[in-house]
Structure 1
Amino acid sequence: MTDPELLSPAGNWDCARAAVAAGADAIFFGLPAFNARLRADNFTEDDLPELMEFLHQHGVKGFVTMNTLIFTSELEAAEAQLRLVAEAGVDALIIQDLGLAKMAREIAPNVELHASTQMTITSPEGLAFVESLFPMERAVLARELSIKEITKITTSPETVTPIEVFVHGALCVAYSGQCLTSESLGQRSANRGECAQACRMPYEILVDGEVQDLGEHRYLLSPQDLAAVDLIPELIQAGVKSFKIEGRLKTPEYVAAVTRVYRKAIDACLSSSISPPPSPITHADRYALEMTFSRGLTTGWLAGTDHPYLTHGRFGKKRGPLLGTITEAQNGWIRLDVPPSEQNPPLKAGDGIVFDAGENRDLEQGARIWKVENDRIIFHRTFSGINFDRIRPGITLYKTSDPALESEIRKFWQNAKLTPKKSPLHLTVAGAPGKPLILRSGESQVTSEQALQEASKHPLNTETLTKQLSRLGDTPYELASLDNQLVGDCHFPLSALNQLRRDLIEKLGPLTSVGAATGATTISYQDLLPKRESSSSLPPQLSILCRSLDQVSAALTCGASIIYCDFEDPRRFKEAVSLVREGTAKIHLATPRILKPGETGYLKLIERAEPDGLLLRNLASLNYYKHRSDLAKTGDFSLNVANPITAALLKDQAALDLLTVSYDLNIGQVLDLLDHAPPEWFEISLHQHMPMFHMEHCVFCTFLSEGTTYKDCGRPCEKHVVHLRDRVGQLHRLQADVGCRNTLFNGRAQTGARFYESLREKGLSRFRIELLDEDSATAIRTIEAYQKLLAERCFPSELLAEVEAIEKLGVTEGTLRSGSL
């Protein structure tokens, strides 16, 4: 790649046309299966050939999103879709699942492979590990990285893959690929394209058991939207090769408005000789970005950490620009105190507004303006539906829609003359009197039947040849260069020359792509499956994950043989190792879920504690430890092992002893996985509090301090026990890790006790309990209950009753329960 690419979203044909009209270099879109925006319109398989032809005619590339986890039973269908994509001339696949990426590389090698942001690539080491699995043409980084951190990745000696980043659109509060909230609460996995947007809901915060009054700040997990248009020069300087706009659920007006603003910014930067270049972005451009969709526009994490700036908590829905504060309200009209500015949003009849009274957002009022008279904004008393008894001075007003702007953008993309992009044609003309005339382009050439004649006057010259051979009309070509290699003064009938031109164009054939080669190999997904040889079932073994030294002591009291430690402060790992060394148990230390550039020091800290093994939670740690054969290594749930191809790839390339089954699998899918891969490869969490949100956003800093980062927040996470209460009244524990990243754990523990016998029948022998905030006595009771189950001293129903009594917030079968058992 040379110039940076502008990549726009398209959920349907109108969005695709809008993106092309506005200057996108490429679009990304989904098919009905295996894409992370199943609620979008999406294109059908029948659309694909026509869509790719349309895009390629206009010099635009098309990328298909297959950015979900793939279950074992879906591998055959995924293979069929890969073949369809290859034959249709798709330029690239955007993929999350490592096993699917391996399939794509083997089955459709001529289609570019782009690592989705769902792969959670956050460091040079993580990217290097994926690069070691298969070559890629693009890696989309996590959205939580700053420009400084992105630069460390692009300039790392290990990095060979071009980098793509999101520059505009909605931000997920959790790391993409690491959000289990929708799955945990409602079996609608974000890793499967079914996100329920729980981050956009209101929450209460409880500090040490007491509700904290935050006033109108209820949307504690809802970030504002990303708008990095002013950072384009810095991102180009950082080595970013593709700029991605989020929005496959958005309208074609959104796609057109945002694409043309970023096209303008990129072109201005590339054409400027000044560094930094002057910004070409006008107030009208910014207004268009804000009006087409925004919850408030920020630079996200790109400019660095500022937690309150990103997530202020006041609303979670679209807002648009602030108009002002009500100074007077009567029945049917209001007056505003408008902030002094030359760039205030225009206000006219028909515009949509919302009254922000700091109330429940489901109850807030909105309407369209009837008319504007002098300084009064007037609403229709009957049809506006506004209860003016609730409208009072002090309420703020936001503009939510501008029909005139929407109409202008709609006309722009609908009326745009989309001229097919012609391919440059480089021609060579050769021959001499008495010999045929040869017309050549690349490897294709045509030869005249009649010979060239000696010219008595007006010999063929470059000017005449150019004039005749550039008459390419409606063909997909335009003459780019002509190499005249005629020897001597040659005469040739112009009609014959024109026919020769037509013959060559026919031989060249139609353009099918702007760079993609088509075709799939004969390799099948079955060729990539691991061998599953029958073996005798191993006795069951229970491991305990502890998050405090008291829990470690409790596990030792119960005679645990394997203990995983996951402490907020890894400096205490050494103490835990010393404690376990007093007995016969083995201790494995957990890495953080996320490692950013420069954070491998945490891994060195773990090494210095001298554990028996490791619980590896991210791609960077797999890369760091892959040559350590002296340590037992378990890949955790966050690696998203959902099918046997992913399992085989990770086990082999990272030299893992065990893999934790993905939390996205229900019991039927777990059993299916065990049927297609050796069960001795796997461990399953039989009891745990599902880690729902894992986020760079720090709730402690934002809502329990006056600071903006860990440097000035005062560390309230170390002083208080904090829960968030959702709309149905369920409490969820919030914890911070060593990197100040927050995890919100489901308040109800998930248990798979009812499925234990079925798992044993498949040969699974490794089971895990994950403790959260249990005290020593509760931890012992929980551990002993599961020990009895594994020792066949109680029935699952008895354990369920006992664990239900132990867990103060109750238990659920959670993500496992949607199976067929």
Structure 2
Amino acid sequence: MLELLAPAGSMEAVAAAVQNGADAVYLGYGDFNARRNAKNFSREEFAAAVSYCHVRGARVYLTLNTLLTDRELPRAAEFAAEASALGADAVLIQDLGVLRMLRQVAPDLPVHASTQMTIHNLDGVKMVADLGLSRAVLSRELSRDQIEYITQRSPIEIEVFAHGALCMCYSGQCFLSSIIGGRSGNRGLCAQPCRLKYGWMDKADSYPLSLKDLSLAGHLRELRKMGVSCVKLEGRMKRPEYVAVVTGIYSRAIKEDREPTAEELEQLRAAFSRQGFTQGYYLDRQGPDMFGVREETKEPRELFAAARNTYQSGEAQRVPVTFYAMLRPGEPARVGVEDPAGRVVTVEGPVPEAARTRPLTAEAVQTQLSRTGGTPYRCEKVRALVEDGLSLPLASLNALRREALDGLTRQREELPRRRSGEYHAGVRYENCKEPPVLTLSMRTAKQVTPELLALGPALVYLPLEELAAHPEKAQAPAGTRIGVILPRVAWDREMGQVEEQLRQVKDLGVTDALIGNLGMLPVARELGFTLRGDFGLEVYNSQAVKEYKRLGFASLTLSFELKLPQLRDISKSVDTELITYGRLPLMIMENCIIKNRSGSCNCQNSNILTDRKGARFPVVKAPGCRNELLNSQKLFLADKAADYRHIGLWAQRLLFTTENPRECVQVVKRYLEQSTWSPNEYTRGLYYRDVE
């Protein structure tokens, strides 16, 4: 049966989820999770939540799914070790540095790959399985045929989002909130700028980045047949009544092997929606009808009042138990209880007396032991051996039942025996003393000209599609290598073409592959490319650097959400790059907003999205007919070279996107200190300001 995983932003929401049938809840403990604005649990609250859930047969998953700095890892290690000792059933992560830390401090705690890891193809799932993770939460953009393809071949459990808010960008790849507002979605503080008004060219008059909420309430049996292990409900920021309504509807549908009724679907809409729901990604039918905004509506008071009643007025009696009773003359009365996991508790009471009038019957014993109201337990069966002619007060039977159930509760609350360890950052590597070499990443083949190559960059990266279509660009003068950029997103149905094109460019003599997603690593490694990590891998700390080194990477691009002092302090066990010029990528989107706007594909034209303040964000084509939203201003640091040349980098990267060939040459000359050019408008990015 599908596991139903519900959100819990508070202890009240834990009760709301569990009393309405959730098989597991996910919650935050400490400040290191993707919903830092939700109420995160204290140590006492977390322990109480785990106890509450385990007694009632539900699991607890800890969210530790943000990027952490080196300074934050020791504190996060304390939270993780405590959560493991307190009985958390698994932990969700994004950062491979956090995974490395968990291996030290909580080696027996199961680890799940958060959707923040952008796992969207089978190779990505196999990669996290090889890393020791036991479950992968797939990207929300996948269609049902892709989910089925992965699930039926996956070596680990697969979890999918079934209900709740949809991000416009692939989770884990969004930088819009951090770049324009200093609040990082990858650090759990997304300000949701995608929900604001934008427009094309000059007027911000619509909501082209605000998706309706997802609802797969009509596809639950299909997901189960595919082999999906768990369906997840989004909503740790939402109130407990919402959690109760949505969890209850999904739970009943799953347990009764049906889809929700029309009345239940209306209740889902009333609880929360953005002009209805969408199944566009799941059905592989994308388009403008997937978009909507939150409208002011009256609170559904009756619905929420009924929802509150489900978790404030007693127990749902979730756990089926079997009672055993034996009453024999001259021996203490014995009552035992057994739960589904095989735990058994046996208690003894007074010795039965000879009956003077009405002897006690097995049926009477069964009736008395079955009265488990007010407890988390539901009597499923009673096996009673009652010899003839005996009498025992019903109050004694009631006391034995209560004592047995109390003992069972204590057993179910028992903490697991797990290993624990100390967190050690390990050896520090000396920063590179040489000034960084120059690398370039291009968006089009036409940007690579003889004039550009004559300037002697160490490495020029070209997108795979471009390099395969323009094989002549694989040639470069001595001292310059040509590398290939793999797509950050490629579904399994695209991977055949990716492999074919990689073989083509390999035959052209290209040896370096720039990789921005774990799912692209196996094919590049199998073909013998030198592995170089792009910004999509989100390298945020020294432990992540070590983990990627272990996976075979020769170089890594450090996160552009870090400040320069933080970048300097990262222990660089492999060569590192830093993007020092260009329009930073803010979003990669499965839903083509260019086509949504015009009804046709116009990637070759200039497409500019404008926000309420008049900032103009180019929208360009990404591999696979996807969209990429670029920053309105170019990152420019050529006049700050003294600041980044001494932080231990192997290379500084210039990121060319909307520039024409002449502009590319102009920029390279400026960074080589052969000119005084600077852009009219520019940004320093996040290298000089704090990011929350």
**Which bin holds the TM-score, normalised by the shorter protein?**
0.7 to 0.9
Aligned residues: 677
Distance between the aligned counterparts of 2:380 and 2:276, measured in 1?
47
> Conserved in 2, the CA contact under 8 Å of 1:204 and 1:218?
yes
Distance between the aligned counterparts of 1:656 and 1:760, measured in 2?
22
Largest Rg, 1 or 2: 1
1:85: Cα distance to partner?
1.3
- Which residue is 1:340 aligned to? none
Query: Does residue 632 in structure 1 map to residue 620 in structure 2?
Result: no
Distance between the aligned counterparts of 2:317 and 2:349, measured in 1?
33
Distance between the aligned counterparts of 2:610 and 2:347, measured in 1?
80
Distance between the aligned counterparts of 1:218 and 1:464, measured in 2?
69
Pairwise mapping of residues 686-705 of structure 1 onto structure 2 (< 5 A)? 686-705=580-599
Q: TM-score, normalised by structure 2?
A: 0.87
> Conserved in 1, the CA contact under 8 Å of 2:464 and 2:486?
no
1:242: Cα distance to partner?
1.7
1:53 to 51, 54, 61: 51
Distance between the aligned counterparts of 2:107 and 2:512, measured in 1?
37
Q: Show CA shifts across 1:705-753 (max 9, x none).
A: 2xxxxxxx3x3113x1222222222222211122011111112122345
Secondary structure of 2:613 counterpart: coil
- Which residue is 1:717 aligned to? 603
For 1:812, the aligned partner's letter is T
Pairwise mapping of residues 79-478 of structure 1 onto structure 2 (< 5 A)? 79-136=77-134, 138-156=135-153, 159-206=154-201, 218-268=206-256, 270=257, 279-283=259-263, 285-286=265-266, 288-290=268-270, 292-311=272-291, 317-319=293-295, 400-403=296-299, 405-414=300-309, 416=311, 417-419=313-315, 421=317, 423=319
Distance between the aligned counterparts of 1:287 and 1:256, measured in 2?
11
- Which residue is 2:514 aligned to? 615
Query: Does residue 658 in structure 1 map to residue 555 in structure 2?
Result: yes
> Conserved in 1, the CA contact under 8 Å of 2:65 and 2:92?
yes
- Summarize the Cα distance change of 1:434–1:152 in structure 2 as closer, same or farther, 3 Å threshold: same
1:509: Cα distance to partner?
6.2
> Conserved in 2, the CA contact under 8 Å of 1:7 and 1:242?
yes
Distance between the aligned counterparts of 1:232 and 1:447, measured in 2?
43
Secondary structure of 2:556 counterpart: strand
Most deviating of 168-177 and 753-762: 753-762
- Which residue is 1:586 aligned to? 481
Secondary structure of 1:126 counterpart: helix
The share of aligned pairs that are identical, in percent, is 30
Distance between the aligned counterparts of 1:70 and 1:536, measured in 2?
23
Query: Does residue 672 in structure 1 map to residue 569 in structure 2?
Result: yes
> Conserved in 2, the CA contact under 8 Å of 1:595 and 1:618?
no
For 1:786, the aligned partner's letter is Y
- Summarize the Cα distance change of 1:502–1:301 in structure 2 as closer, same or farther, 3 Å threshold: closer
Distance between the aligned counterparts of 1:23 and 1:476, measured in 2?
12
> Conserved in 1, the CA contact under 8 Å of 2:56 and 2:376?
no
1:769 to 641, 654, 657: 654
- Summarize the Cα distance change of 1:652–1:541 in structure 2 as closer, same or farther, 3 Å threshold: same
Distance between the aligned counterparts of 1:287 and 1:142, measured in 2?
26
For 2:293, the aligned partner's letter is K
Distance between the aligned counterparts of 2:459 and 2:562, measured in 1?
24
Distance between the aligned counterparts of 2:206 and 2:403, measured in 1?
70
> Conserved in 1, the CA contact under 8 Å of 2:165 and 2:212?
yes
- Summarize the Cα distance change of 1:73–1:27 in structure 2 as closer, same or farther, 3 Å threshold: same
1:21: Cα distance to partner?
3.9
Q: Show CA shifts across 1:433-483 (max 9, x none).
A: 999999887687879899999xxxx99998798678778787776666678
For 1:408, the aligned partner's letter is L
> Conserved in 1, the CA contact under 8 Å of 2:165 and 2:213?
yes
- Summarize the Cα distance change of 1:535–1:57 in structure 2 as closer, same or farther, 3 Å threshold: closer
Distance between the aligned counterparts of 1:477 and 1:744, measured in 2?
53
Structure 2: which 5+ residue stretches go unaligned? none
Distance between the aligned counterparts of 1:740 and 1:695, measured in 2?
9
For 2:186, the aligned partner's letter is N
- Which residue is 1:564 aligned to? 461
> Conserved in 2, the CA contact under 8 Å of 1:436 and 1:447?
no
Q: Show CA shifts across 1:654-687 (max 9, x none).
A: x11011102222222212213xx43x43111122
Secondary structure of 1:609 counterpart: helix
Distance between the aligned counterparts of 2:199 and 2:432, measured in 1?
51
> Conserved in 2, the CA contact under 8 Å of 1:107 and 1:520?
no
- Summarize the Cα distance change of 1:817–1:16 in structure 2 as closer, same or farther, 3 Å threshold: same
- Which residue is 2:410 aligned to? 510
Structure 1: which 5+ residue stretches go unaligned? 271-276, 320-399, 706-712, 794-798
- Summarize the Cα distance change of 1:464–1:71 in structure 2 as closer, same or farther, 3 Å threshold: same
Q: Show CA shifts across 1:267-311 (max 9, x none).
A: 34x2xxxxxx6x541246325524533243211301113222223
Query: Does residue 36 in structure 1 map to residue 34 in structure 2?
Result: yes
> Conserved in 2, the CA contact under 8 Å of 1:86 and 1:520?
yes
> Conserved in 2, the CA contact under 8 Å of 1:298 and 1:310?
yes
CA RMSD of aligned residues (A): 3.7
Secondary structure of 2:561 counterpart: coil
1:766: Cα distance to partner?
1.9
> Conserved in 1, the CA contact under 8 Å of 2:540 and 2:562?
yes
1:812 to 671, 683, 687: 683
Secondary structure of 2:200 counterpart: strand
Distance between the aligned counterparts of 1:227 and 1:491, measured in 2?
61
Pairwise mapping of residues 477-626 of structure 1 onto structure 2 (< 5 A)? 510-513=410-413, 518=416, 521-526=419-424, 529-534=425-430, 537-538=433-434, 540-553=436-449, 554-566=451-463, 569=466, 571-577=468-474, 579-580=475-476, 583-600=478-495, 601-610=497-506, 611-626=510-525
For 1:247, the aligned partner's letter is G
Secondary structure of 1:626 counterpart: helix
> Conserved in 2, the CA contact under 8 Å of 1:95 and 1:114?
yes
> Conserved in 2, the CA contact under 8 Å of 1:452 and 1:490?
no
Distance between the aligned counterparts of 1:27 and 1:409, measured in 2?
20
Distance between the aligned counterparts of 1:422 and 1:819, measured in 2?
47
1:191: Cα distance to partner?
0.3
Secondary structure of 1:657 counterpart: strand
1:770: Cα distance to partner?
1.2
- Summarize the Cα distance change of 1:4–1:693 in structure 2 as closer, same or farther, 3 Å threshold: same
- Summarize the Cα distance change of 1:470–1:108 in structure 2 as closer, same or farther, 3 Å threshold: farther
Most deviating of 12-21 and 89-98: 12-21
- Summarize the Cα distance change of 1:450–1:58 in structure 2 as closer, same or farther, 3 Å threshold: closer
